[in-house]
Structure 1
Amino acid sequence: MGFLSEMDQGYKISGHSGGPALADFVRFDDRKETFIVLTNQRSFYPYLAIIYGPGLKNPELPLN
C-alpha cells in the first residue's frame, strides 16, 4: 500500500503505510492532527485511536 487519501468515520484522512517497513503515518486533514506509529504490533493501533482520537471508533483488525 502506498499513499492514501480517503474518508473514514466522517473524517478526511491521508497517510502512508510505510510499505513492508514498520512505520505508518495518518493525517486527519480536517482536524489538523497527524499520527506517526513506529511499531510492529498492528494490534496496537486501536488503542492509539481510542487514546488520541476522541470520537473515533475502535477499528476492526483483519484476521491473519
Structure 2
Amino acid sequence: MRVLRAEKNMSQADLADAIGVSRKTISTIEVGRFVPSTVIALKIAREFDVPFEDVFTLSEDTS
C-alpha cells in the first residue's frame, strides 16, 4: 500500500481522507498491526484502481 501511495504521490492523510478513515488507521494497516475490514480494504483497492489482491494477500503462516 505504501508503494501505491507513493506512485500516486499520496500521503497517509490523503488516502485516509479519500476513503473516510483516520490517518492512524492507514499507518497501522501499513505496518501490519491492524487488519482492515473488508469494506476498508475494498475502498483502498478502489482508490488505487487496482484489484483487491494487488493490495492485500494472505501470508503463508495465516491459518
TM-score (norm 2): 0.34
Higher relative contact order (CA 8 A, sep 6+): 2
Between Structure 1 and Structure 2, the one with more helix by share is 2
In the superposition, the TM-score normalised over structure 1's length comes to 0.34
